[in-house]
Amino acid sequence: MTKVVIFNGSPRKNGYTIKLLEKVAKGAESKGAEIIKFDLNNPEIRGCQGCFYCRTHDGCAIKDYLQPMYKAITEADAIVFGSPIYYYQITGQARVWLDRTFPMLGDNFSPRHSGKKLITIFVQGSLNPEIGTEGIKFLNNILDSYGWKLEDSIHYCGTSESAPDLAEFEALSLRAFKNGENLVV
């Protein structure tokens, strides 16, 4: 059975980020995948302590909400990550998670758990896609260094407008669902 791990970097419980992540999950589930979800807004998450435990172990010394993610990632066939764009970057919650993924790299910064399929989702208030471009590139490049193959990166813009383009959202929702289906091997 295909295993898909989803990381939600949005603090909003019913925002566009979670809606698109749910579409990916439903697409994967429709093909029989097992879904494991992590809410990166969980108050039980601690930041990286710079202890370098992960340089000699495959995982992290911090025993918190994220501790099970290391096993989940190891066993996963696919990773799905979503975050709003705040101040040109991923959210602070997502950034703490990203720091905690340092154990994905081993000696000489070689990937420990490569070969995962990857979908990323980004949502921003501004209609101008250039606002989030560098932050998206930054995150996708780091995840690429883990040996994860980017299958698609969705970027939905204009959510804080008085009337967001809901036709575009529906098209992106369909794309997200199909991405989920395509994650299943």
- Per-residue pLDDT of 74-83, as tens digits, reads 999 999 999 9
Report whether 24 contacts 174 (CB < 8 A). Answer: no
- Which amino acid is it at 25? A
1, HSE (Cβ side, Cα atoms, 13 Å): 11
Q: Residue 11 gets which letter from DSSP?
A: S
Report whether 118 contacts 78 (CB < 8 A). Answer: yes
pLDDT at 162: 75
CA distance 48 to 40: 14
Domain count, the chain: 1
Query: CB burial class (10 A; 0-12, 13-18, 19+) of residue 34?
Result: middle
pLDDT digits (tens, 9 = 90+) for 126-163: 999 999 999 999 999 999 999 999 999 999 999 987 77
* CATH code for the domain of 32: 3.40.50.360
Report whether 36 contacts 77 (CB < 8 A). Answer: no
Domain interval for residue 70: 3-183
pLDDT digits (tens, 9 = 90+) for 8-62: 999 999 999 999 999 999 999 999 999 999 999 999 999 999 999 999 888 999 9
